[in-house]
A and B are shown apart, each in its own frame.
Chain A
Amino acid sequence: MTRQRAPIVHEVAGRTRVEPRGELDVDTRESLAAAVARVAVPHARIEIDLRRLAFIDSAGLTTLIEIDRDVTARSGTPPRFLVAESGPIRRMIELTLLHLSLDIRIG
């Protein structure tokens, strides 16, 4: 059985990138939220790289919204979400119109 592994956190071009892997649902979302919460702010620019995520549901999408609010409140700058060009993550984000309210970069 594929379980979600702990998100990878690393620096990329002056940004702190948090990279969840596996599946993001009500069972696994806490590890992503906790990883983002541990990132030092206020000066870091935070990217949430969703390109290695294989699955997301509404609980996962809600987690992205909560992360957006949390990071914005703490640092004054909303996080950037990186989404693969194709696949279920982009489909769910566009289905729920989250690309209109979050800083989403495709590709």
Chain B
Amino acid sequence: MARVPWPAVADTVRHRPPVDPNGVRAPVVLRLPAEPGALIMARQVVTGVADAIGMPDDAIADVKVAVTEACTNVVRHAYPDGPPGPMTVAAWTGGGRLMISVRDVGVGFCDDGRRTSGVGLVTIAALAADVGVRSYDSQGTEIVMAFPAP
């Protein structure tokens, strides 16, 4: 998958939410354990954000699936050894887009052959208007998805 220009700057050390180019903090940040039971919480929060900004139902459904795919990837692959680590879901708007970031501090895409671009990322690419993937050196991975916002 092609990497797209990074729309946000994240604090990779302290695992802070991303900051957009104008320095505005992500308005919604959710920190969850990277475990299956957290998926529904992530879905519900992004659904609330998408609904609050007036996205139509079919577009909200796409956002839900894409975020679930990104979070499932974290749950399955980011922390192969030991207990589930953190997973941060952040959502913000700007430039007519809803941006959603899913970030972990586990095994990066480049660190582990098991963490490949599977069906989850393909699904995200099919549903989102834009996708960016950043793998931090041994400090996890972040996927940022953009969706058209009203």
Contacts and interface: CB of A to CB of B under 8 A. Distances in A.
Contacts of A55: 43, 61, 64-65, 68
Given A1-B41, A57-B123, A95-B126, A26 B75 contact: yes
A25 B44 contact: no
Interface in B73-126: 75-76, 119-120, 123, 126
Contact of A59 (B41, B72, B127): B72
A79 to B, nearest CB: 21
B40 interface: yes
Interface string A39-51: 0000000000000
Q: How large is the interface on B (under 10, 10 to 19, 20 to 34, 35 or more residues)?
A: 20 to 34
A92 B72 contact: no
B68 A1 contact: no
A91 B61 CA distance: 9
Contact of B40 (A27, A58, A59, A87): A27
A25 B73 CA distance: 12
Contact of B37 (A27, A58, A87): A27
Interface of A: 1-3, 23, 25-27, 55-59, 62, 87-88, 91-92, 95-96
